[in-house]
Structure 1
Amino acid sequence: MNALVAALDALFADPNVGRDAVYTPAGGGPVDVRIVPRRGDAISEFGDARVWSETIRLDVRVSEVAEPRPGDGFEIDGEACVIQGEPVRDRERLVWTIELRPA
């Protein structure tokens, strides 16, 4: 497991992959974190209709954000966002994948 943690730390520290952000839990103070952004578009099915929406997703290490919750905030490059939906941990329980919406 230590090799996996070391690899994740290197990935998040890489300036070409990871980025600085600020995480603010609801009712708490801001915390500097490293994230790996994923800004893909999503197409959702709604009955017979297909709805396109811009998504803001990111990965953050569990070691930096232990319990993210809907309503908590992130600031990325000056853009304020709020967690929507439940964050999901990876199989090894080392990384959260979080979906955001603009604040």
Structure 2
Amino acid sequence: MNAFQAMVDAQFEDLNLGSDAIWRAGGAEEGLPVRIRYRSPEGIVGLQGNQFDLSAMLLDIRLSEVAEPAEGDVVDVLDDEGAIRETIKVIGLAGIDARKLVRTCEVALLAPDDPDDP
């Protein structure tokens, strides 16, 4: 392990930065326990005198844990007790860092199933 891998691992394992999750490739029933790191960049874009607030929900995943994240993968984010806090779906893939250790994915929150729906 080199210094860059150690630094990335320390960030993901930090309780303030990383979160436990279950990564389900293609939404499969079985999942893989992983650590993720949320990022929610926000930008203000001006266009013809108007300003638009662009916000995205992004997460980072170590490529050592999920070698090929893909659109359609589903991630169950766990709370401190190990219960599912929220479920998100990968809707786009952003870049891979220069050292090819971390992939950034755009995600969207999946609404919980409504028990009243037929």
TM-score, normalised to structure 1's length? Answer: 0.82
- The SS at the match of 1:66 is coil
The answer for unaligned runs of 5 or more in structure 2 is: 79-84, 111-118
Matched AA of 1:21: A
Larger C-alpha radius of gyration, 1 or 2?
2
Identity of aligned residues (%): 35
Aligned twin of 1:3: 3
* Deviation beyond 3 Å, 4+ runs, structure 1: 40-54
- The SS at the match of 1:16 is coil
CA distance in 2, matches of 1:44, 1:4: 33
Q: Does the CA contact (< 8 Å) of 2:27 and 2:72 recur in 1?
A: no
1:99 maps to 2:99: no
Give the CA deviation at 1:39. 2.3
- The SS at the match of 2:108 is strand
> Between Structure 1 and Structure 2, how many residues are aligned?
103
Give the CA deviation at 1:30. 0.7
1:24 maps to 2:24: yes
Aligned match for 1:85, one of 83, 92, 95 = 92
Give the CA deviation at 1:62. 0.3
TM-score, normalised to structure 2's length? Answer: 0.72
User: In terms of mean alpha carbon deviation, does 48-57 or 11-20 score higher?
Assistant: 48-57
Q: Does the CA contact (< 8 Å) of 1:69 and 1:87 recur in 2?
A: no
Aligned twin of 2:73: 72
Give the root-mean-square deviation of aligned CA atoms: 2.3
Matched AA of 2:9: D
